[in-house]
Amino acid sequence: MSDIDVLELLGLAQATATEAAALAADMRSGGVQVQKTKSNDLDIVTQADTAVEALIRKRLATARPADGVLGEEGGEADGTSGITWVIDPIDGTVNYLYGSPSYAVSIAATTKAANGRYVSLAGCVHAPVLGTEYTSAAGQAARRNGQELHVNEGVPLHQALVSTGIPYDLEARAQVLADFASLAPRIRDLRLVGSAALDVCGVAEGRTDAHVGRRLPIWDYAAAALIATQAGSVVRGARGGPPSLELLLAADTHLADALEPLITDGGIKE
């Protein structure tokens, strides 16, 4: 797996996400219905989630047949190249259902570390209705529509604008409410967008100062975490570890250090 060309991977991620995002937007204009539910009744899948992931898998398999794929809707298929594509066909499906513009296709090219964790090499988050494409690759700048991105640095806790998300899991919602209660008196304000990928990209571009994510699987952030990291954010989990179901915390390092003691206590365990 030597000589990985991360820019080639990024180009494929961009081209595929552009086409996939156009399909999602096109399907939305024809109306949308819930096709099925997953972990519980709140965790919905629309026909577009399925169709968009199928398109992405087809394009990636044609371009790079030896790569593996992990997609939210279609599961994991091993490859032989050492590259695994991690896909969320529509991040923000509930927004999509309601006609909100805050949804995005997320595609990341990753490699697996010895400990089994996915390490992102290139990623693209494309929100067709917002008209925004976020990109980055290992060693490269983070960009929105080609413009370089930087996180907000040196923001004190009391001036921090912090986004979070609402998990489908009801037990995890209790943790988010605890986060709200702990954070609200100490920060500038909280934001709920409804797309973890766009939330993490929001930190990258300074639209918010930090994101606190709970119960996020890898496809929610494989692309966005790379984009935020390359924009100068730390993206980490609880107790200095990597992001996990328990916690994903993205912010400039000083703000992350200030936020972490307020939010990790009693967190969701893997």
Cβ–Cβ < 8 Å for 35, 47: yes
Task: List the one residue from 179, 199, 220, 246 that touches Ca ion (CB under 5 A).
Answer: 220
Angle, CA 129 vertex, CA 123 and CA 133 arms, to 5°:
25
Which of the choices ligand IPD, Ca ion, none does residue 160 contact, using the CB cut-off of 5 to 8 A by kind?
none
| Number of amino acids touching ligand IPD (CB under 6 A) | 13
Cβ–Cβ < 8 Å for 63, 12: yes
Cβ closest to Ca ion, residue 45 vs residue 259: 45
* Separation of alpha carbons 268 and 214, rounded Å: 8
Pairing of strands 161-164, 210-213: parallel
Minimum distance of ligand IPD from residue 99's CB (angstroms)? 14
Angle, CA 184 vertex, CA 182 and CA 189 arms, to 5°:
145
Minimum distance of Ca ion from residue 154's CB (angstroms)? 31
User: Which among 191, 221, 219, 184 is positioned nearest to 206, based on CA atoms?
Assistant: 191
Contact flag: residue 53 with Ca ion (CB under 5 A) = no
Please choose, out of 17-25, 36-44, 89-97, 165-173, the segment that lies near Ca ion by the rule CB under 5 A: 89-97
Cβ closest to Ca ion, residue 90 vs residue 245: 90
Q: Which residue is nearest to Ca ion (CB)?
A: 91
**DSSP annotation of 233:** -
Contact flag: residue 205 with ligand IPD (CB under 6 A) = no
Cβ–Cβ < 8 Å for 250, 163: no
Which of the choices ligand IPD, Ca ion, none does residue 246 contact, using the CB cut-off of 5 to 8 A by kind?
none
User: Which among 128, 75, 85 is positioned nearest to 105, based on CA atoms?
Assistant: 128
Which of the choices Ca ion, ligand IPD, none does residue 125 contact, using the CB cut-off of 5 to 8 A by kind?
none
Minimum distance of ligand IPD from residue 140's CB (angstroms)? 24
Please choose, out of 4-12, 128-136, 164-172, 253-261, the segment that lies near ligand IPD by the rule CB under 6 A: 164-172
Task: List the one residue from 71, 101, 167, 202 that touches ligand IPD (CB under 6 A).
Answer: 167
Angle, CA 184 vertex, CA 183 and CA 186 arms, to 5°:
70
Contact flag: residue 92 with ligand IPD (CB under 6 A) = yes
**DSSP annotation of 41:** T
**Tokens in use for 166?**
């609402």
Minimum distance of Ca ion from residue 56's CB (angstroms)? 12
* Separation of alpha carbons 54 and 96, rounded Å: 18
Task: List the one residue from 53, 179, 220, 252 that touches ligand IPD (CB under 6 A).
Answer: 220
The site for ligand IPD (CB under 6 A) is made up of 88, 91-93, 165-167, 194-196, 215-216, 220
